[in-house]
């Protein structure tokens, strides 16, 4: 550790340059990952709401409504369809307004229409389902959250593509910067490296101090980025919570597991830290391997 700190102190500007490059990359990467997960969580939330609701006219028979339900289920594009009869709707209404007898007195089961609440397998199927429902006989109204879902879908897709492109660009730039800085450090130590190789030092031995520095700076920068990002998030927490009024939590699915991304769960926070630290140390180590590779081989001629 002492040797590591001494070598960092002996080349302070190079160490600072490595730290700042890593800091910028890790901060932006964390921001991207957080925003993407947040958007996916939001999309998941919207998808979990009834996406299309069809209300039927009073004349529509239960048999015809159930036939529509059956047709939808057979289409293969629907995750589930929930039938709500006039009586079910009235029961729900009563439950929701149980504290308001005036409202209960004014309403009878005849006023409330029967409806089907449809959840599509993919948001992309929603327009098709809505079009089909518009042709149904006895339809009174079709409620379709098309705009919200469409906007969210396109936003998520744009953010994902842009994030990926930006992320690749960011990572490439950082690795090149780190390679250049490490090259410079290696060049300054060229005489020592040659001497060590002549004295029998292995590639691993010569590379170790550079690698230690890279891993240390990767760890430190990712930890600082994580701390600062956490602070910023804490500062904006009430605003985000206000923006999400009514939405209690957001999830993303990772394989069979569901991860709570808002409010930030311990698992999510821990996962982000491990991911960020691993990424920071990984790119720093990768750049060091590239930068030192050329100088370390024994070039026998």
Partner 1 sequence: MIQFENVTKTYPLGVAALDSVSFAIEQNEFTFLVGTSGAGKTTILNLILGDLYPNSGTVIVDDVDISSKKCNKIENLRKHIGVVFQDFKILHDKDVFENIALGLYIQELTPKKIKEQVREVLSLVGLEGRDRYFPIQLSAGELQRVAIARALCGDRHIILADEPTGNLDPKTTWDIMKIFKKVETRKTIIIATHNTDIVNSMKKRVLVLKKGKLTKDMQKGGYEL
Does 191 participate in binding partner 1 (rule CB under 8 A)? yes
HEC per residue, the chain? CHHHHHHHHHCHHHHHHHHHHHHHHHHHHHHHHHHHHHHHHHHHHHHHCCCEEEEECCCCCHHHHHHHHHHHHHCCCEEEEEEECHHHHHHHHHHHCCCCHHHHHHCCCCCCCCEEEEEECCHHHHHHHHHHHHCCCCEEEEEECHHHHHHHHHHHHHHHHHHHHHHHHHHHHHHHHHHHHHHHHHHHCHHHHHHHHHCCCCHHHHHHHHHHHHHHHHHHHHHHHHHHHHHHHHHHHHHHHHHCCCCCCEEEEECCEEEEEECCCHHHHHHHHHHHHHHHHHHHHHHHHHHHHHHHCCCCC
Task: Quote the least distance from Cβ 233 to partner 1, whole Å.
Answer: 43
Among the listed residues 1, 63, 102, 298, the single contact to partner 1 using CB under 8 A: 298
Does 301 participate in binding partner 1 (rule CB under 8 A)? yes
Stretch that binds partner 1, among 47-55, 58-66, 87-95, 190-198 (CB under 8 A): 190-198
Q: What string marks each residue from 192 to 231 as x (binds partner 1 by CB under 8 A) or -?
A: x--xxxxxxxx--x--------------------------
Q: Judged by CB, which is closer to partner 1: 122, or 190? A: 190
- Chain length of the chain: 301
Task: Quote the least distance from Cβ 191 to partner 1, whole Å.
Answer: 7
Nearest to 201 by CA among 292, 136, 133, 129: 292
Q: Judged by CB, which is closer to partner 1: 169, or 205? A: 205
Task: Quote the least distance from Cβ 181 to partner 1, whole Å.
Answer: 18
Q: Judged by CB, which is closer to partner 1: 2, or 108? A: 2
Q: Which residues pair with 83 in a beta bridge?
A: 116
Does 266 participate in binding partner 1 (rule CB under 8 A)? no
Q: What string marks each residue from 117 to 136 as x (binds partner 1 by CB under 8 A) or -?
A: --------------------
Does 236 participate in binding partner 1 (rule CB under 8 A)? no
The residue count for binding partner 1 (CB under 8 A) is: 15
Does 62 participate in binding partner 1 (rule CB under 8 A)? no
Task: Quote the least distance from Cβ 263 to partner 1, whole Å.
Answer: 50
Task: Quote the least distance from Cβ 188 to partner 1, whole Å.
Answer: 9
Q: Judged by CB, which is closer to partner 1: 196, or 244? A: 196
Does 293 participate in binding partner 1 (rule CB under 8 A)? no
Task: Quote the least distance from Cβ 297 to partner 1, whole Å.
Answer: 11
Instruction: Tell me how far apart the alpha carbons of residues 282 and 153 are, in angstroms, rounded to a whole number.
Output: 32
Interface residues with partner 1 (CB under 8 A) are 10, 191-192, 195-202, 205, 298, 300-301
């Amino acid at each position: 550790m002492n040797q590591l700190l001494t070598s960092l102190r002996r080349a302070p500007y190079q160490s600072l340059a490595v730290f700042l490059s890593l800091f910028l990359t890790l901060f932006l990467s964390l921001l991207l990952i957080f925003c993407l997960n947040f958007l996916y969580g939001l999309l998941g939330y919207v998808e979990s709401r009834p996406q299309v609701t069809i209300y039927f006219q009073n004349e529509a028979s239960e048999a015809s409504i159930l036939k529509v339900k059956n047709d939808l289920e057979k289409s293969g594009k629907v995750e589930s369809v929930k039938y709500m009869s006039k009586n079910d709707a009235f029961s729900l209404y009563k439950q929701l307004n149980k504290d308001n007898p005036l409202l209960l007195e004014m309403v009878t089961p005849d006023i409330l229409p029967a409806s089907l609440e449809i959840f599509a397998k993919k948001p992309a199927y929603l327009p098709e389902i809505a079009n089909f429902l518009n042709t149904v006989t006895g339809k009174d109204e079709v409620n379709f959250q098309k705009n919200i879902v469409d906007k969210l879908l396109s936003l998520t897709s744009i953010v994902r593509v842009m994030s990926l492109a930006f992320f690749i660009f960011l990572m490439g730039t950082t690795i090149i910067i780190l390679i250049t800085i490490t090259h410079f450090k290696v060049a300054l130590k060229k005489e020592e490296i040659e001497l060590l190789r002549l004295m029998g030092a292995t590639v691993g031995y010569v590379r170790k101090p550079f690698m230690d520095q890279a891993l240390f700076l990767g760890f430190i920068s990712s930890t600082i980025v994580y701390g600062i990002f956490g602070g910023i998030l804490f500062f904006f927490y009430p605003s985000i919570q206000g923006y999400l009024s009514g939405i209690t939590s957001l999830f993303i699915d990772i394989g069979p597991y569901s991860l709570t991304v808002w409010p930030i769960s311990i698992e999510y926070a821990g996962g982000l830290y491990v991911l960020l630290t691993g990424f920071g140390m990984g790119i720093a180590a990768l750049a060091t391997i590239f930068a030192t590779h050329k100088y370390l081989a024994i070039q026998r001629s």
